[in-house]
Amino acid sequence: MARYFTEEHEWIEVDGDTATVGITDHAQEQLGDIVFVEVPEAGKELTKGGEAAVVESVKAASDVYAPIAGTVIEGNAALEGDPELVNTSPEADGWFFKMTIADKGELDGLMDAEGYKSFCDSL
């Protein structure tokens, strides 16, 4: 499976025609303790760069954006009762939603792990 990253600190892991999306370890470190997560409902149409989810921490509330266009298949229901999963496992169990991929060409503008690390180092 290929994993990509955005400048807004989302990650997207592609598996065939579907993808899983969450926020990066860097993002959760910046936010601090996560206290609430609102994930999108199955069936919601997402546009690339559009608002997809909300994450709130003791420091701030932040939108999570769709790295690519597609349709939500599933929101991570575990985050409703256990939002701190985003802190403890941001790039695994703390995923936000799964989606179909409308246009694989939209993945071309995203960073790989090495590119994302360099991006974060430059901040």
Q: What is the pLDDT along the chain (123 residues), one digit of tens a residue?
A: 899 999 999 999 999 999 999 999 999 999 999 999 999 999 999 999 999 999 999 998 999 999 999 999 999 999 999 999 999 999 999 999 999 999 999 999 999 999 999 999 999
- pLDDT on residue 1: 85
- pLDDT on residue 39: 97
Considering Cα of 113, then 61, then 84, then 78, what sign does the dihedral take? negative
For 15, the token pair is 């598996």
In sequence order, the β-bridge partners of residue 38 are: 54
pTM for the model stands at: 0.96
Give the strand pairing for 18-23 and 61-65. Answer: unpaired
CATH architecture, domain 2-105 = Beta Barrel (2.40)
